[in-house]
Amino acid sequence: MQIAWAPNHGITDSSPSRNPFDGSSGWTYNFNPNVTRSTQLIISEFMADNGSGIKDPLDGKRVDWIEIYNGGNLEVNMAGWHLTDDATNLTKWTFPAVVIPSHGFLLVYATGDNEPTRYLHTNFKLDTAGEYLGLVDPDGHISSEFSPTFPAQSTDVSYGRDAVRFEHRWLLCGGDARQTEFD
Ligand SMILES: [Ca+2]
Ligand SMILES: [Ca+2]
């Protein structure tokens, strides 16, 4: 593994003189790959009442869907991450090994099927009346959630966060979710 530091990293030690980190052998560091991923993945958008939007590629039905956004600078392998609609069961559905690139999106179909083939299908659906929705990392930490519930949803209007400002917003039409396929 190679590690590099930005020229203007601003890292210092904790002494009063704040000696700048130079990467030389006089320093030690610990690399924790879990620090960034747990805070940079969000549920960016979802659809709980799909009347005329994205179709399930397996059977052509219009289904609930959830979009995940990786706001970090590293790709994330989702193996072992979870999505859940139950705050008392944070490991309800587990992702297979699928990679989301840095600043990439992944679309998950919330069909209740847990379809194990080509596309991602959760074992739960989204309640139009509103319910809990969470994204949980392999260590059980909540990375993104709508708590205690997301608000009641309208047909063909998706709900989500601005991927830059992380604010909740209603997203008209909803059909612009970035559809992602994987093999
Ligand atoms: Ca639904
Ligand atoms: Ca549900």
| 65 closest CA partner among 56, 73, 74, 75 | 56
- Break the chain into its structural domains and give their ranges: 39-171
Residue with tokens 């966060």: 161
Give me ligand 1 centre to Cα 22, in Å.
53
What's residue 154's pLDDT? 92
- pLDDT computed for residue 37 by the predictor: 43
- The residue with greater pLDDT, 169 or 38, is 169
What class, spelled out in words, does domain 39-171 have in CATH? Answer: mainly beta
- Give the least confident one: 19-28, 126-135, 142-151: 19-28
**Better-scored residue on pLDDT, 172 or 1:** 1
Reported as type and span, the H/E element at residue 37 is helix 34-40
Cα 85 to middle of ligand 2, angstroms: 5
Q: Which two tokens stand for residue 99?
A: 């990679």
Nearest ligand to the CA of 128 is 1
In a 13 Å sphere around the CA of 81, the CA atoms on its Cβ side amount to 28
Sign of CA dihedral 75, 78, 80, 84: positive
- The mean per-residue pLDDT over the stretch 137-164 comes to 88
**Separation of 126 CA from ligand 2 center, angstroms?**
4
pLDDT band with cut points at 50, 70 and 90 for residue 161? confident
Q: Which residues surround ligand 1, an ion (CB under 5 A)?
A: 48, 64, 125-126
Report the pLDDT averaged over residues 50-62: 89
pLDDT value, residue 16: 82
Provide mean pLDDT across the span 58-83: 92
- 48: pLDDT confidence band, cut at 50, 70 and 90? very high
Instruction: Inform me whether the pLDDT recorded for 176 exceeds 50.
Output: no
Which amino acid appears at position 44 of this protein? S
